[in-house]
Structure 1
Amino acid sequence: MTVDEYEAAREGGAPIDILEHYFEAHGWANERTSDEEIVASFQGSWAQYELRAVWRDEDRVLQFLALPDIRVPADKRGSVYETLGLINEQLWIGHFEMWASSGMLLFRHAALLDSERDAALTLDQAETLVEAAIDECERFYPVFQFVLWGDKSPQEAISAALIETQGEA
């Protein structure tokens, strides 16, 4: 990214363009599927994530999705729906959901951008949008694993996965 491109991105611009700059600056593989959509991949601590952003100009909404590589088998969907409810109660921004057709888990949130500023997205806002999604996925990934593979109840999984540690080992 050139200095001029970086300054333009910091000041704000077309949401998908700014996210493209952000992904490229981090060296993450990405692809513009259209003028309104971009897809990137990111290797987290627990899983490979697909990051997807969709811009709806008519509504001035940028929807951001982070998809960890988790598919829920049909026999576990009831437990996972309960888990989603308990997790979503704890979130300030965004939510987890499961697509009924595929059992795919995802984290989704959106940004309503000011129409007075021509729907500009700053690089700082892009960073917050992306990092919030990744942070929540990384934080709750073990909970889903305990429910799916450890046969724990949703309450047990949350208690086991979210233990706060003191100090360092």
Structure 2
Amino acid sequence: MTTLFADQFLTPVANPVDTVEEVAQVNDWTFDRDDDELTAVLPGSFCDYQLRCLWREEGRALQIANLFDLKVPEAKRPAVYEAIGRLNERLWLGHFEMWAEEGLIMFRHAAVVDGAIGQTHVELLIETAHAECERYYPVFQFILWSGKTAQEAIDAALLDVIGEA
């Protein structure tokens, strides 16, 4: 039986990290580049994020990860895990996660790339990751610095303000 995804039908695809590098240069970001990976400093309102873009030829996937400038101590990890679960329920694209060993929080998503990827597409992937980090960073701040529960932090961070001061 043959499969639809047999390796014999896959042809090499241009490395999309080349396009990510162009975006980094245009935006004047500080970055390091290896063949299939680019790491850049992406400024935000709350912190500078570490943007990691990784190309996997075998899966034809470009992964975008935005790492927070926060380290979660062991005592706060249960609340952070709960917040991550609750926030991920709200997301259509990508997800938050925490690396258990380092206690680092990140937002990550990927795109399957079949052929060349344009600068506009790469910018959209990066902007999506950045926007979600900016939107939800205060949730993690409230847990880590104010001692709030996951639900309290979400409620406080996502409070809808009506009117003007």
What TM-score do you get using the length of structure 2 for normalisation?
Answer: 0.89
User: CA offset at residue 139 of structure 1?
Assistant: 0.4
- Count of matched residue pairs: 152
Which amino acid in 2 is paired with 1:26? N
Q: What is the aligned partner in structure 2 of residue 163 from structure 1?
A: 159
Which runs of structure 1 show a deviation greater than 2 angstroms over 4 or more consecutive aligned residues? 166-169
User: CA offset at residue 70 of structure 1?
Assistant: 0.8
Corresponding residue SS for 2:70: coil
User: CA offset at residue 113 of structure 1?
Assistant: 1.1
1:30 aligns with 2:26: no
Question: CA separation in 1, counterparts of 2:122 and 2:66?
Answer: 14
Match runs of 1:96-115 below 5 Å? 96-114=96-114
Contact 2:15–2:36 at 8 Å: present in 1 too? Answer: no
User: CA offset at residue 167 of structure 1?
Assistant: 3.6
Question: CA separation in 1, counterparts of 2:99 and 2:124?
Answer: 25
Q: What is the aligned partner in structure 2 of residue 18 from structure 1?
A: 19
1:148 aligns with 2:144: yes
Question: CA separation in 2, counterparts of 1:109 and 1:143?
Answer: 20
Question: CA separation in 2, counterparts of 1:89 and 1:121?
Answer: 29
Question: CA separation in 2, counterparts of 1:167 and 1:38?
Answer: 42
Q: Which sections of structure 2, spanning at least 5 residues, go unmatched?
A: 1-13
TM-align CA RMSD: 1.0
Q: What is the aligned partner in structure 2 of residue 5 from structure 1?
A: none
Match runs of 1:66-85 below 5 Å? 66-85=66-85
Question: CA separation in 2, counterparts of 1:123 and 1:14?
Answer: 13
Q: What is the aligned partner in structure 2 of residue 126 from structure 1?
A: 122
User: CA offset at residue 14 of structure 1?
Assistant: 3.1
